């Protein structure tokens, strides 16, 4: 496969910059009958929840085909592979053996394993509304570290607790399908506590390179009118500060801590356990204005009319097949903004996810997307942001949550009938781009 699009060589990233790709367990593994159920299995079984009526029972069958997938990683020439460890699989007999084999295969291919300990597939019997789930997560972290810690050096605790809270518990568009709106706040707090306890458990097991993968994107006010600016600030707190402030500053944004039960101050000491690096998942900026008093459709979600903000369509940019605007320069803005907001409290940053959904194997749009975002990332480096790595979402097409298989984010195409993998033009482009980097 030849990448036709003639792009200029990318600027040089610093030596030691970590190049990788990401996936998650529930989205690719399949082999659902060889593990305990998760909240996503139950959610998927409810009629109408998944747009194309599909399930993740087989997905990409990565559980059985992982040697082929590791060979694809090696062919791509990445330094690292970010995957997630399914908690319900770890809880099942022999479940950890799978990750043991996967990590061995990665090490043999000279690709560094970077596991995420939770990427939304909560064991069915657990509930983030319960504080005890945080302690259970720390136990899970300890079990995995005990088994894989001799070969895994870089760890990620949680993936996007903001999306898991918002989509899963506030709006009900993701598992477990609750629509608690602002009553979902304990879900945020318990995930943060789980993160802090897991950091301690990982350190106790000898780990010293620990991060989290948080979703971030600039919030743009719909206008300079006070009502729009205030609504945008509120949205910004939910998306960009609700998790980052406790993690990096040891406090909740104003007005939030008071809404939580229990001894929040002492929890915050656990939550703010210093991180070795900070993971940022970036997809798009969001335009937000004052409430408009009507339900809105946004990113496949129906947002209720009584929220204190409304999400507006961002016009004037190309969009992906998912309808998400393509705004590479917002990545520079985001990173410079994080550094301004958190100063020395911001650890070195790794982009743990960035990518786009497009149909087709000759995916020139994905090449343009990646090229644009890598240049924008380089501009953040030039402006002094300490960025240490970049992971593309995703290695291969997979189960895109409530969208089912309709959205294709992969560098590698997956035929869901035959499970055949076909590298797309963007795979060849990234492989060639990495060859022009000095790397070490």
> Which residues here bind ligand BGC, judged by CB under 6 A?
24, 159-160, 163, 215, 217, 281, 283-284, 299, 353, 393, 400, 409
The helix/strand/coil state of 83 is strand
Nearest to 391 by CA among 67, 154, 195: 154
Residue 13 or 369: the one with the smaller Cβ distance to ligand BGC is 369
Nearest-approach distance from CB 104 to ligand BGC, in angstroms: 25
Residue 24 or 133: the one with the smaller Cβ distance to ligand BGC is 24
DSSP assignment of 405-422, as one string?
Answer: GG----SEEE-TTT--EE
Residue 24 or 86: the one with the smaller Cβ distance to ligand BGC is 24
Chain residue whose CB lies nearest ligand BGC: 283
Residue 256 or 280: the one with the smaller Cβ distance to ligand BGC is 280
The helix/strand/coil state of 353 is strand
Nearest-approach distance from CB 21 to ligand BGC, in angstroms: 13
Q: Quick one: 383 exposed, middle or buried, by C-beta within 10 A (0-12, 13-18, 19+)?
A: exposed
Nearest-approach distance from CB 325 to ligand BGC, in angstroms: 10
Residues 6+ apart with CB under 8 A from 435: 77
Residue 217 or 404: the one with the smaller Cβ distance to ligand BGC is 217
CA 194/CA 191 separation, integer angstroms: 5
Nearest-approach distance from CB 54 to ligand BGC, in angstroms: 14
Nearest-approach distance from CB 181 to ligand BGC, in angstroms: 17
Pairing relation of β-strands 278-282 and 301-303? unpaired
The helix/strand/coil state of 202 is helix
CB 81 within 8 A of CB 20: yes
DSSP assignment of 279-308, as one string?
Answer: EEEE---EEEES--SS-EEETTEEE-TTSS
Nearest to 243 by CA among 173, 299, 312, 166: 166
Nearest-approach distance from CB 6 to ligand BGC, in angstroms: 28
> Any idea which residue has 């620990």 for tokens?
210
Residue 40 or 409: the one with the smaller Cβ distance to ligand BGC is 409
Q: Which helix (H) or strand (E) holds 434?
A: helix 425-435
Catalytic residues: 160, 353
């Amino acid at each position: 496969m030849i990448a036709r699009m003639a792009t200029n060589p990318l600027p040089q990233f610093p030596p030691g910059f970590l190049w990788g790709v990401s996936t998650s367990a529930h989205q690719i593994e399949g082999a659902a009958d060889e593990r305990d159920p998760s909240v996503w299995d139950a959610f998927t079984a409810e009629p109408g929840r998944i747009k194309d009526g599909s399930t993740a029972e087989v997905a990409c069958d990565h559980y059985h085909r992982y040697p082929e997938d590791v060979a694809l990683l090696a062919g791509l020439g990445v330094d690292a592979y970010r995957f997630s460890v399914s908690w319900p699989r770890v809880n099942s007999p022999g479940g950890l053996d799978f990750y043991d084999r996967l990590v061995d295969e990665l090490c043999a291919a000279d690709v560094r394993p970077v596991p995420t300990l939770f990427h939304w597939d909560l064991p069915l019997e657990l509930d983030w509304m319960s504080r005890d789930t945080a302690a259970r997560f720390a136990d899970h972290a300890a079990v995995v570290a005990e088994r894989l810690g001799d070969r895994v050096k870089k760890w990620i605790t949680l993936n996007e607790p903001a999306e898991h809270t918002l989509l899963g518990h506030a709006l009900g568009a993701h598992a477990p399908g609750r629509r608690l709106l602002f009553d979902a706040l304990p879900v945020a707090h318990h995930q943060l506590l789980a993160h802090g306890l897991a950091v301690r458990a990982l350190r106790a097991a000898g780990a010293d390179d620990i991060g989290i993968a948080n979703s971030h994107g600039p919030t743009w006010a719909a206008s300079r009118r006070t009502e729009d600016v205030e609504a945008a600030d509120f949205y910004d707190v939910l998306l960009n500060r609700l998790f980052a402030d406790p993690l990096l500053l040891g406090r909740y944004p104003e007005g939030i801590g008071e809404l939580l039960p229990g001894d929040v101050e002492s929890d915050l000491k656990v939550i703010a356990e210093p991180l070795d690096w900070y993971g940022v998942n970036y997809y798009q900026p969001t335009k937000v204005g004052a409430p408009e008093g009507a339900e809105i459709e946004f990113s496949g979600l129906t947002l209720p009319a009584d929220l204190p903000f409304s999400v507006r369509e961002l016009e004037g940019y190309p969009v992906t097949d998912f309808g998400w605007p393509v705004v590479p320069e917002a990545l520079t803005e985001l990173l410079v903004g994080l550094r301004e907001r958190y100063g020395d409290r911001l650890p070195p940053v790794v982009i743990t996810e960035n990518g786009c959904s497009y149909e087709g194997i000759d995916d020139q749009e994905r090449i343009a997307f990646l090229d644009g975002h890598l240049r924008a990332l380089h501009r953040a480096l030039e402006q002094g942001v300490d960025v240490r790595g970049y992971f593309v979402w995703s290695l291969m097409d997979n189960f895109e949550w409530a969208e089912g298989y309709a959205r294709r984010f992969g560098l590698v195409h997956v035929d869901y009938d035959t499970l055949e993998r076909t590298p797309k033009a963007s795979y060849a482009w990234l492989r060639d781009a990495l060859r022009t980097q000095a790397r070490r």
